[in-house]
Structure 1
Amino acid sequence: MEVLALVVSLALLAFTFALITYKRSGRGSQLPPGSFGWPILGETIEFLFGKPEKFVADRMNKYSPDIFKTKILGENTAVICGANGHKFIFTNEQRYFTVFRPHSTQRLFRSNENKAPDAPPPPPTKNSEEIKSVKQQGFLKPEALKRYLPKMDSITHQLLQTNWAGKSVVLVHPTAKLATLTLASQFFLGINNPDRISRLVDLFDKVTLGLHCTVLNFPGTTYRRGQTAAAAIRKELQIVIQEKKQAMASGAPMQDILSHLIVATDPSGKTVPEAEIADKIMGLLTAGYSTVATTITFFMKYVGLNPKIYKKIRAEQMEIAASKKPGELLEWEDLDKMKYTWNVVCETMRIVPPLQGTFREVLTEFTYAGYTVPKGWKVYWTVSSTNMNPKYFRDPETFDPSRYDEGEAPLPYSYAPFGGGPRMCPGKEYARLAILAFVHNAAKNYKWEVVDPYEKVEGDMMPEPQNGLPIRLHQQQ
């Protein structure tokens, strides 16, 4: 009898535990269709190592064009799809959603000083949010960027002159990464040290790859390489912070974000710790690095494969150049004259999104398309459900900049390379300036052809050409 009572007790305990888990996971409601995949791993492998647009499209076809469930990066996740899905997410920020960063990203972008290796990352502080809104976003507004555009033009011109002049074949992707990091370093840090920046490129590549990966902390893994690179960047940035403090003490003007972070204080008058400043600057540099470099690279590819498109871009840029006096640099008004060039950039971002999507955490249970998404789940927003969908773009496989002409703009919420709503990328205008400054100098001085039109594209979350996109240059007069 004692054995029977023990078995019954254990069975009741197991049933109670299963019921609690069932209710907490939301299975008492009608969850979105889909699969959580393998135990522990879920569908992370398919998500990270398959094409993201294929991952999304396959499940939209199999389960629902509106929403499906999955488990990626250790999280129960609802993927909300289509233009209506974009609208729902963008218009319900803070009501249903808050920011969520994958665990690998959380661990890479926090100082490891005085913390155990596996300690959870600290929550954002009120001071952190104030700095972000008051300082960073202020610097990224058009009125601030307007003053920086001529310097962007000058830096890009010098960099292309140094790396491309007199050469018949060059690699676009390394040049785009160097140019992008150089511009970001000047803008965010106020430094233009070519040797230092060249050393940082490889480190930022490793950090970028580590943003979306499984947290496997042993030698040889993507996460470990990203973690090691982040530590090296953080160390270099702390040296830069010391240099900046010395320069400011000597009366140097505060013309960059780093200077303002150094003097920022919280309500009690305390300044931000150097380790926290380094983390924030590393995040800013990363955000302004890989996505811009990716767009520049694939812009150069598609233009190099389309002589007619190049001819129109060249004419537009030369008209701007002809309006300038010798040595006069780009001004804000010139950007309004680059309408066709920007259409080509937009089409590049549609075909090859520089960022596939972002995560949110569900603040309160909600219903969408007849399905319930429980509190605590994650929501994944992705461009993949619209960018290549013939419902929103005619002949979506065709590279066609004319689809952005006046009167032919994409349907609302169908094209959102920078996100939307309150969480639209605050660096959108900065990215536009960096890309157009590069294009202006490239098209003004060179014609180019893609050496290998069929070069393999590696990376799924962050695409890049396998061999760096070699192009054949022809100097223009």
Structure 2
Amino acid sequence: MDSSLAYIVTLAVIPVSIAFIFLIRKRNSSSLKLPPGTSGWPMVGESLQFALLGPQKFVKDRMKKYSPDVFQTSLMGEKMAIFCGAQGNKFLFTNENKLLTSWWPQSMKKALLFPEFVEDSLKEVSALKRSFMHDILKPEALKQYIPVMDALAREHIEQEWAPHKEVKVFPLSKKYTFDLACRLFLSVMDPEHIKKLADPFHLVTNGMFSVPIDLPGTAYNGAIKGGKMVREELLRVIRERRKELMENKETAAACKDLLSRMLLVTDEDGQYLSEMEISNNIIGLLVASYETTSTAVTFVLKHLAELPHIYREVLREQMEVAKTKGPDELLTWEDIEKMKYSWNVARESLRVTPPAQGAFRESVADFTYSGFTIPKGWKTFWTVHTTHKNPKYFPEPEKFDPSRFEGSGPAPYTFVPFGGGPRMCPGKEYARLEVLVFMYRIVTQFQLKKAIPNEKIVYHASPVPANGLPVLLQPHGK
């Protein structure tokens, strides 16, 4: 009888206790003035709307409905505050490592990283000091890469472009950027070896931002499998290189590629990086250099094919450079520095069609912005379109106008294809060189015409031409 009574009392107390805890939490939550917005459907949030509308329209609609400064939503199962405009960019960029830290979606980490690192913070995953990345990707260090970029661009165009009257720009741009990354980062040049990395890597990039359902046949399942194959191949390359460096000190001194330098660097405690840590860092660099740079190259060429008056000015500038070069002479840093109008064209392309849509952060403490509280643990997202396509910052934002970048250029925090603050993309200069070298080789050899005038642009992680951007090639002098 007593035990039955105790059981009944327990059953009565549990729901009352749960209700009390819920009310306390609700009261604490309601005492905060959260950004306006909606969390969407349970579990799913607004991820489906984000995918269907595309980031630009999704954000624009909610800015109009909720707030032009910041609004809340739920993406990938996370409560998220979307920051808008130049002030939003400035706040996030200047509070990096103070109120915010870098964050990747769990689904992305599962596709890219070893299982042992999936639960770690990005800071723990990277292992390398950010100053090291800046050192190896700063202009002085990159100067030596220009002839390599140019030689590979020339070889690539002779093999993949010149024999054809029509080509698809997007897949060829991806091939060039991946081949170049393998050569510069790993000294991998054999086509078959590159293919062993490229094929599974394509699976990763095609599926890591898809619906994270890990079932056979899904894009995400392909990304998981592809990531495992890439990591295994990278470990093999890393182990072979480490063995070479240990056996031959002269080779160690002569090695200039990124992998060799990573193998020789130590962390803050004087320890060499593990093979898995090096693999994580290389994968991060491959993703950044491959996805965004190939998209940047593609859309620069798209705009040149669409806008004859822009193309003519780029051709004029590039031919001035070409006149100073011998038949087999490769480009130098001094040549790149003469391509000022061409870089303005590339920057305007990055403004109109930015390869990266923004970036995530995680709040490490409660903070207030624009009168609203962002709780600790919420994720944040800044998006390029709230400034790039805003007439307040760029009059007639849909008009392609390279003159926007003459003189002092756009106002601070309005042109942000590479982010800003401490987390500004360290590969910005690498991307500039790669885009300009490729522009030079294409423009001085061909005139381009779009085969599908009104080809649709779809959005995945980056904007993608629906048909791969087929163009007709007209060699100069023919």
| Pairs within 5 Å for 1:350-369 | 350-369=351-370
| Pairs within 5 Å for 1:458-469 | 458-469=458-469
Q: Counterparts of 2:123 and 2:381 in 1: how far apart (Å)?
A: 24
Please, which runs of 5 or more residues in structure 2 have no aligned partner?
none
**Residue from 72, 76, 79 that aligns with 2:79:** 76
Q: Does the alignment pair 1:54 with 2:57?
A: yes
> Are the counterparts in 2 of residues 360 and 379 from structure 1 also a CA contact under 8 Å?
yes
Deviation at 1:100, TM superposition (A): 0.8
Partner secondary structure for residue 79 of structure 2:
strand
Structure 2: which amino acid aligns with 1:388?
K
* Structure 2 residue aligned with 1:412: 412
> Are the counterparts in 2 of residues 48 and 461 from structure 1 also a CA contact under 8 Å?
no
Q: Summarize the Cα distance change of 1:138–1:31 in structure 2 as closer, same or farther, 3 Å threshold.
A: same
* Structure 1 residue aligned with 2:315: 314
Q: Does the alignment pair 1:424 with 2:421?
A: no
Q: Does the alignment pair 1:373 with 2:378?
A: no
Q: Counterparts of 2:106 and 2:27 in 1: how far apart (Å)?
A: 25
Give the TM-score normalised by structure 1: 0.92
| Pairs within 5 Å for 1:67-216 | 67-112=70-115, 120-123=118-121, 128-129=126-127, 131-216=128-213
Structure 1: which amino acid aligns with 2:257?
D
* Structure 2 residue aligned with 1:343: 344
* Structure 2 residue aligned with 1:453: 453
Q: Counterparts of 1:361 and 1:125 in 2: how far apart (Å)?
A: 12
- 1:90-137 per-residue CA deviation (whole Å, 9 max, x = no partner) reads 11112211111111122223224xx5xxx95234576944x2435332
**Residue from 9, 18, 21 that aligns with 2:22:** 18
> Are the counterparts in 2 of residues 30 and 372 from structure 1 also a CA contact under 8 Å?
yes
Deviation at 1:267, TM superposition (A): 5.6
Structure 1: which amino acid aligns with 2:149?
M
Structure 2: which amino acid aligns with 1:416?
V
**Residue from 25, 42, 45 that aligns with 1:39:** 42
Q: Summarize the Cα distance change of 1:359–1:128 in structure 2 as closer, same or farther, 3 Å threshold.
A: closer
Q: Which piece of structure 1 moves more, 423-432 or 466-475?
A: 466-475
Q: Which piece of structure 1 moves more, 165-174 or 211-220?
A: 211-220
> Are the counterparts in 2 of residues 176 and 296 from structure 1 also a CA contact under 8 Å?
yes
> Are the counterparts in 1 of residues 103 and 122 from structure 2 also a CA contact under 8 Å?
no
Q: Counterparts of 1:399 and 1:125 in 2: how far apart (Å)?
A: 38
Partner secondary structure for residue 386 of structure 1:
helix
* Structure 2 residue aligned with 1:231: 228
Please, which runs of 5 or more residues in structure 1 have no aligned partner?
none
Q: Counterparts of 2:307 and 2:173 in 1: how far apart (Å)?
A: 20
Structure 2: which amino acid aligns with 1:43?
E
Q: Which piece of structure 1 moves more, 48-57 or 260-269?
A: 260-269
> Are the counterparts in 1 of residues 352 and 389 from structure 2 also a CA contact under 8 Å?
yes
Percent sequence identity over aligned pairs? 41
Q: Counterparts of 1:124 and 1:54 in 2: how far apart (Å)?
A: 29
| Pairs within 5 Å for 1:390-401 | 390-401=391-402
Q: Counterparts of 1:66 and 1:320 in 2: how far apart (Å)?
A: 45
Q: Counterparts of 1:352 and 1:151 in 2: how far apart (Å)?
A: 28
Q: Counterparts of 1:394 and 1:128 in 2: how far apart (Å)?
A: 40
Structure 2: which amino acid aligns with 1:236?
E
Deviation at 1:335, TM superposition (A): 2.1
Q: Counterparts of 2:138 and 2:38 in 1: how far apart (Å)?
A: 42
Q: Summarize the Cα distance change of 1:124–1:76 in structure 2 as closer, same or farther, 3 Å threshold.
A: closer
Structure 2: which amino acid aligns with 1:154?
A
Q: Counterparts of 2:462 and 2:434 in 1: how far apart (Å)?
A: 19
> Are the counterparts in 1 of residues 106 and 118 from structure 2 also a CA contact under 8 Å?
no
Q: Counterparts of 1:394 and 1:280 in 2: how far apart (Å)?
A: 40
Q: Which piece of structure 1 moves more, 331-340 or 361-370?
A: 331-340
- 1:50-109 per-residue CA deviation (whole Å, 9 max, x = no partner) reads 210011001000000001000111111111100111111111112211111111122223
* Structure 1 residue aligned with 2:290: 289
* Structure 2 residue aligned with 1:240: 237
> Are the counterparts in 2 of residues 177 and 201 from structure 1 also a CA contact under 8 Å?
no
Q: Which piece of structure 1 moves more, 274-283 or 385-394?
A: 274-283
Deviation at 1:195, TM superposition (A): 2.8
Q: Counterparts of 2:225 and 2:52 in 1: how far apart (Å)?
A: 22
- 1:172-214 per-residue CA deviation (whole Å, 9 max, x = no partner) reads 1111001101111111112222233245334323222344344
Q: Summarize the Cα distance change of 1:111–1:6 in structure 2 as closer, same or farther, 3 Å threshold.
A: closer
* Structure 1 residue aligned with 2:332: 331
Deviation at 1:448, TM superposition (A): 1.1
Q: Counterparts of 2:369 and 2:269 in 1: how far apart (Å)?
A: 43
- 1:239-282 per-residue CA deviation (whole Å, 9 max, x = no partner) reads 22233235433443211110122233346654322233222211
Q: Summarize the Cα distance change of 1:127–1:96 in structure 2 as closer, same or farther, 3 Å threshold.
A: closer
Q: Which piece of structure 1 moves more, 452-461 or 434-443?
A: 452-461
* Structure 1 residue aligned with 2:441: 441
Give the TM-score normalised by structure 2: 0.92
Structure 1: which amino acid aligns with 2:404?
R
- 1:411-439 per-residue CA deviation (whole Å, 9 max, x = no partner) reads 22111110011110001000111111110
Structure 2: which amino acid aligns with 1:356?
Q
Q: Which piece of structure 1 moves more, 302-311 or 211-220?
A: 211-220
Partner secondary structure for residue 388 of structure 2:
coil
* Structure 1 residue aligned with 2:215: 218
Q: Summarize the Cα distance change of 1:476–1:243 in structure 2 as closer, same or farther, 3 Å threshold.
A: farther
Partner secondary structure for residue 64 of structure 1:
coil
- 1:324-363 per-residue CA deviation (whole Å, 9 max, x = no partner) reads 2342221112222111111111111112110101111101
* Structure 2 residue aligned with 1:265: 266
Structure 2: which amino acid aligns with 1:37?
G
Q: Counterparts of 2:359 and 2:240 in 1: how far apart (Å)?
A: 35
Q: Summarize the Cα distance change of 1:247–1:29 in structure 2 as closer, same or farther, 3 Å threshold.
A: same
